Amino acid sequence: MQNSNRAFLLGPLLKGVSRSFYLTLRVLPAAMRDPVGEAYLLARAADTIADTSLIPPAQRLALLLAFRERVNGTGNANDDALTRIASEVAGQQTQSDEKLLLESLGGALDVLAQLDEADRVAVREIVTTLTEGMEFDLNTFPDERSGQVAALGTWDALDRYTYLVAGCVGEFWTKMTYRHLPGTLAPALRETMYQRGVRFGKALQMVNVLRDCGKDLRIGRCYLPATMLAQAALTPQDLLQPGTSARARPLMFGLVRIALDHFRAAIDYAFALPRLSIRLRLACLWPILIGLETLEQLVANEDWLDPARPSKLTRNDVYRILACSTLAATSNTLLNAWFKRLLARIEARMAAIEKA
């Protein structure tokens, strides 16, 4: 029964809740799939708890912290945290897979216990850090139904946030690569690869922050720092007004340029992988390419703060990226030319708009 439960949780259920990440997970070398998949399942459950807006933030936070204790093995195994999550949160889900995940947390914790000790420690660490990011959200922003909006204070707060919710994933990914695929990454580059991994995750989260800004504002969350808004003579409330996209564009361009610097570190990360480690390369290439093409759409979007005009790739765009990158995965020359083209187009688009 244990094996069948594990197969279901890390197979059909993971596929149902992971959406686009499942493509990356499926192409990963087999040795990394279980710990990465288990970490994703637990993080996804925590994220669902934190984001269920029909439940008051204080109640969500209490359930989130109780769940984190259970993941870390520090909570009371006899408490009713999992039962409360299943009854109070699962019932509010419109997606059946997310509901099933929340009702299957006991099984997910059993899978965690079956991992070897080093993997179990690493999964607990990454879930703890990710839930600290969710805790930060719940403590920083107003109730989604309050009609209020609040902004992060400073750039340092945004940078820290991008580490908590994504940069730490790059660290975890690197740790799993060194552990399960010895010889893939040069031991002498270990510290450099950890740093690049953090910046890789931050790059992807910066895309999320900018792409989803209009949608986040409408649930009271402004990840654009108040200090940067003030420099542009803007407030979080101004960003909700029609026609503000143009006024806020210089601020967005500044953050895009920071994201591009992080993406350059992510590209270096991908090129540090052996050319014949095709699966691992593709797992890194896909989010980089999708992220850069999303940024290209974002800088061209005159109404980037309007949630009705999202900067989002089509399914055909994604399939094109998957197909072309699979063909080019072993060629540093082709990949380098592709990356340079994308970076140059984004920079040129911003420069042309700023000059106009």
Helix (H) or strand (E) holding 91: none
Task: Round to whole Å and give the CA distance between 248 and 225.
Answer: 12
Task: Round to whole Å and give the CA distance between 284 and 273.
Answer: 9
Q: At 138, list the tokens.
A: 């719940």
Q: Over 117-141, what HEC string results?
A: HHHHHHHHHHHHHHHHHHHHHHHHC
Q: What is the CA radius of gyration of the chain?
A: 21
Helix (H) or strand (E) holding 32: helix 30-51
Vertex 310 angle, CA 170 and 251, to 5°: 70
Report domain extents, the chain. Answer: 1-137, 141-356
pLDDT at 339: 98
**Banded pLDDT at 1 (limits 50, 70, 90):** very low
Once rounded to an integer, what is the mean pLDDT over residues 102-122? Answer: 93
Q: What does pTM read for this prediction?
A: 0.94
Q: At 222, list the tokens.
A: 């402004």
- pLDDT one-digit tens code per residue, 164-223: 999 999 999 999 999 999 999 999 999 999 999 999 999 999 999 999 999 999 999 999
Provide CATH code, domain 141-356.
Answer: 1.10.600.10
